[in-house]
């Protein structure tokens, strides 16, 4: 089942989400929600989806990077779910990269993010994890944790000069495909 994705302007998206209670870990209800979130994310060609983006006030998110039309050249990583994620360490160096958001369809912005980070979280079964990630995976985690804290990627941008409607971004920045007509 595909869930509706709430859009910017929805009050829940600007509030810090509630911690997932430990009693919810491993429950059928949580597994059902996570399955719907994964289906919704894949249907929208996303690489991450926070619970508040589907109207659920809980600190959890789904992430997966497989080739899709929105991120055709992104490095792959498997489907993962994290509960109560928290960044505990991050690089001083930041790297700017293009981001979009399922709650702000049709736009991309150039966003500075930490090159690498270490975070802690719970798995859906309640196991504690501590991981260090870099590059695109680190970018996705920062983006999703921002959602859980009530922020959008534009809040991290230095200004809106590098914020584009997707039609203009495609014409200007998307690599041209050779040998396919004009």
The residues annotated as belonging to the active site are: 144
Distance of alpha carbon 152 from alpha carbon 14, whole angstroms: 8
Looking only at Cα atoms, what is the longest distance across the chain? Answer: 57
What are the residues facing 65 on neighbouring strands? 77
Assigned token pair, 113: 């993010």
What is the C-alpha to C-alpha distance for residues 149 and 68, in angstroms, rounded to an integer?
A: 27
How many whole angstroms separate alpha carbon 31 and alpha carbon 20? Answer: 13
Tell me which residue has tokens 């495609």. Answer: 170
Q: How far is Cα 85 from Cα 130, in angstroms, rounded to an integer? A: 9
Please, are residues 158 and 100 in contact by the beta-carbon 8 Å criterion? no
Q: 166: exposed, middle or buried (C-beta count within 10 Å: 0-12, 13-18, 19+)?
A: middle
At 110, list the tokens. Answer: 């150039």
């Amino acid at each position: 089942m595909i869930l509706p994705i709430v859009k910017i302007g929805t009050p829940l998206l600007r509030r810090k989400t509630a911690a997932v209670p430990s009693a919810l870990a491993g429950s059928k209800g949580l597994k059902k929600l996570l399955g719907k979130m994964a289906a919704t994310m894949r249907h929208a060609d996303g690489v991450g989806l926070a619970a508040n983006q589907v109207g659920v006030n809980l600190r959890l998110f789904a992430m997966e990077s497989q080739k899709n039309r929105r991120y055709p050249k992104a490095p792959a990583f498997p489907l993962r779910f994290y509960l109560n994620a928290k960044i505990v360490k991050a690089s001083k160096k930041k790297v700017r990269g293009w981001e979009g958001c399922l709650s702000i369809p049709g736009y991309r912005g150039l966003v500075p993010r930490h090159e690498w980070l270490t975070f802690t979280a719970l798995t859906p079964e309640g196991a504690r994890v501590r991981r260090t990630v870099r590059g695109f995976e680190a970018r996705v985690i920062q983006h999703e944790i921002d959602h859980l804290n009530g922020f959008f990627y534009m809040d991290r941008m230095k200004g809106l000069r590098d914020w584009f409607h997707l039609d203009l971004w495609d014409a200007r920045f998307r690599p041209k495909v050779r040998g396919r007509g004009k």
